[in-house]
Amino acid sequence: MISTYRKILTMLAVLCLAVGVGACGDDDDADKSSTGSAPAADSKVIERDSANASKGTITVASKNFTEQFVLGEVYSQALEAQGFKVKRRLNLGSEQVAYKALTGGDIDMYPEYTGTSLINFFDVKPADVPKDPDAAYTQTKADYAKQDIAALARTPFSNTYVVTSTKKTADKIGNPKTMTELFQKAPNLSISGFPECRQRQDCLLGLRSQFGYKGKFISSDGKFNDLKGGNSELTLAFGTDPQLALTDQYVAYEDDKQFFPPYNIALGVRNDAIEKIGPEAVEVLEAVQEPMTETVMRELNRRVELEKQAPKVVAAAYLKEEGFLE
C-alpha cells in the first residue's frame, strides 16, 4: 500500500531507450535536474484503493486522554487515506472499558500500552513485567492471541515513568544524564509521585535499593505542578508528557538500568478485522508509527495540550510531516 513508483521509473527508462539517450540527458544533466515532481522510489505516501470502501466500516477506538486521541486519529486517518470507511470512538473510557469493547466486538481496534495490558488484562504483577520492551511486547502479543486479537508491532516510544526535574535543578547538580548519575550526585533530593509508589518495588522501594536514593517521598499527583510550586525537587512524570518537550524548562533522566517497566503501544486489532482490512493495510498501520519516538510524541502531545490544537489536526500534520500524506 505504501507507494513505490518502481513501475513508473521502469517505464521512463524504457521510454528513454526508445527515443534515444540524448533525449533524456546524460548523467551530469540528470544530476543537475533532479528536482522533478515525480515521487521518489522509496516514497512513503499512502496509496488509496477504491475497493477498500466496499469492505465495511472499521471502528477505531481510543481511551480518554490526549495521547490516545492523537494515536486514534493517526490510525483512523491512515486507514481513510487507503480508502476505508472509518468510525471513530475516540474517548471510550478507561482500559477496562476499551478492552471489553474490543473483546466483545463493539470496536475493531484500539491502541494499548504493553505494561497496561499485561498488568490489567493478563494478571501479571507489576514487578514481573519484563523490563525489555521486546520481551514485554512478545508476551503481550501471545496473551492477546488467546483472545483472537492481533497485537501489531510495538511503537518505538514507551510512555513509562521518568524521573524529572526542572532545568534549574539539573544545572545546579551538574546536569546528570541518567538516573544512576542523578542519584549519585544528589541522592537526597525530594521526589513526588503517585501514592502507591511508596510501597512498590518498581517505584520508591526500588529507587532506594537499586539507585541508593535517600530523599523524601511526597505523595502527589501534581507532577509538573509540584516542580513549579517548589513542593518537590524531582517528580515521577510519564515519558511522553507534553511538558518534557519544553527542554528549556524540564529535564527527563535516562532510565539506564531499565528500572521502570516498558509501556510501548501495541495496536490491538480483532482477527476478523485483520481479515477485513488485509495485510497491506496492516503494513501501513505499522509504518505510520515507526517515527513515533518519545521526542515525537512529546511534541504531538504538546501541540494538543499546551497549544490547544485539535488531535485531528495534529495527527494530520504528523502524517504529512513524516511523508505519509501529501
- pLDDT tens digits along 233-251: 999 999 999 999 999 999 9
Q: Which pLDDT band, with edges at 50, 70 and 90, does 296 fall under?
A: very high
Q: How far is it, in rounded angstroms, from Cα 86 to Cα 89? A: 10
Q: Which CATH class is domain 53-158+264-321?
A: alpha beta
Give the three cell numbers for residue 52.
477498500
Write the burial class of residue 34 (CB in 10 Å: 0-12 exposed, 13-18 middle, 19+ buried): exposed
Give the three cell numbers for residue 113.
500500552
| Sheet of strand 265-270, all strands in order from the earlier edge strand to the far edge | 85-89, 57-61, 109-113, 265-270, 149-151
**Contact of 78 with 285, CB cutoff 8 Å:** yes
Helical pair 294-305 and 66-81, crossing angle rounded to 10 deg: 100
Q: What global pTM score does this model have? A: 0.85
Residues forming beta bridges with residue 163, ordered by sequence position: 236
**Contact of 138 with 121, CB cutoff 8 Å:** no
According to the model, what pLDDT value does residue 91 have?
95
Mean pLDDT for 266-293 is 98
Task: Specify the fold of 161-252.
Answer: D-Maltodextrin-Binding Protein; domain 2 (3.40.190)
According to the model, what pLDDT value does residue 127 have?
87
- pLDDT tens digits along 186-238: 999 999 999 999 999 889 999 999 999 999 999 998 899 999 999 999 999 99
Mean pLDDT for 290-315 is 98
- pLDDT tens digits along 250-268: 999 999 999 999 999 999 9
CATH 3.40.190.10 residue spans of the chain: 53-158+264-321
